[in-house]
Amino acid sequence: MNSKVDTFIDTIQPVELRKIAIRIQQIIQDSLPQVQESIKYKIPFWNYKGNLCYLNPQKDHIVLGFVKGIYLSNTQGVLVGNGKQVRHLIYKELESLEESTLVEILNEAAMLNE
């Protein structure tokens, strides 16, 4: 855990988006305990042998971006984006966060950084 990341997440408004961010942080910490969290570019990043993913709150949703997202299999069909490298998940409500799907993507992303 990183107190700067915790402080950042504690300031996210509205509260519903903060709850999503807290849950994402918990899932990352539980499924990938070797991952380090930090603030980069003014937002939370999780690192494992390089940048893994980041959390970027927007006005009405949370973006969880995967730095090497273009290389992820996306067998779940949930990653979006058409940039050169990053793919992301978008969460507008806590109920839409499927833990098992997120854990699969996180594990695959970590393997890409091996």
Show the domain range for 8.
3-112
Given this model, what pLDDT does residue 61 score? 98
User: In what order do the strands lie in the sheet containing 62-66?
Assistant: 36-40, 43-47, 51-57, 62-66, 87-91
What is the distance between the alpha carbons of residues 14 and 113, in angstroms, rounded to a whole number?
A: 33
- The predicted model scores a pTM of 0.95
Contact between 99 and 24 under an 8 Å Cβ cutoff? The reply is no
Q: How far is CA 8 from the centre of its chain?
A: 14
54: domain CATH number is 3.90.1150.200
Per-residue pLDDT of the chain (114 residues; tens, 9 = 90+): 678 999 999 999 999 999 999 999 999 999 999 999 999 999 999 999 999 999 999 999 999 999 999 999 999 999 999 999 999 999 999 999 999 999 999 999 999 999
Given this model, what pLDDT does residue 2 score? 74
Residues sharing a CB contact under 8 Å with residue 78, sequence separation 6 or more, in sequence order: 89, 101, 105
Q: How many domains does the chain have?
A: 1
